[in-house]
Amino acid sequence: MKRIEMVKSNEDFQEIIHNKKFVTNKLFTIYNKSYQQSYPQFGIAVKKSFGTAVDRNKIKRQVRFLVDNYKKEFKNSAKYIIMIKNTCKNVPFNEMNTSFASLIKEIK
């Protein structure tokens, strides 16, 4: 994921989350909001209760990889926040992949 494709500021996170357009399952919640831009933007959020910084960074790397693989499935004119739930901690990557793919289909 390129730097230009990332949502970084707290104001953007709050604005997208308060929009209240989201899809959810047992592993992820994806919030989205439409914007006037030619590319999608993504933010990834993990609670501190998920585990140590090593665990949180590992799961964020895995989710970034999933986002890169499914980038063409997202609408170009939107911003997305991907919230990772604590249940995602001990789940194999293949299950995360199928769960993420099913959420993307629900967004459309």
What is the tens place of the pLDDT at every residue in 48-104?
999 999 999 999 999 999 999 998 888 888 899 999 999 999 999 999 999 999 999
- Give all domains of the chain, ordered by start, each with its CATH number: 3-107 (3.30.230.10)
Whether the per-residue pLDDT at 35 is higher than 90: the answer is: no
Partners of 43 in beta bridges: 81
- Tokens matching residue 40: 């999608």
Cβ atoms of 6 and 43 closer than 8 Å:
yes
What is the tens place of the pLDDT at every residue in 70-85?
988 888 888 999 999 9
Burial state string for 37-49 with b = 16 or more CB within 10 A and e = fewer than 16: eeebbbbbbbeee
Model pTM above 0.75: yes
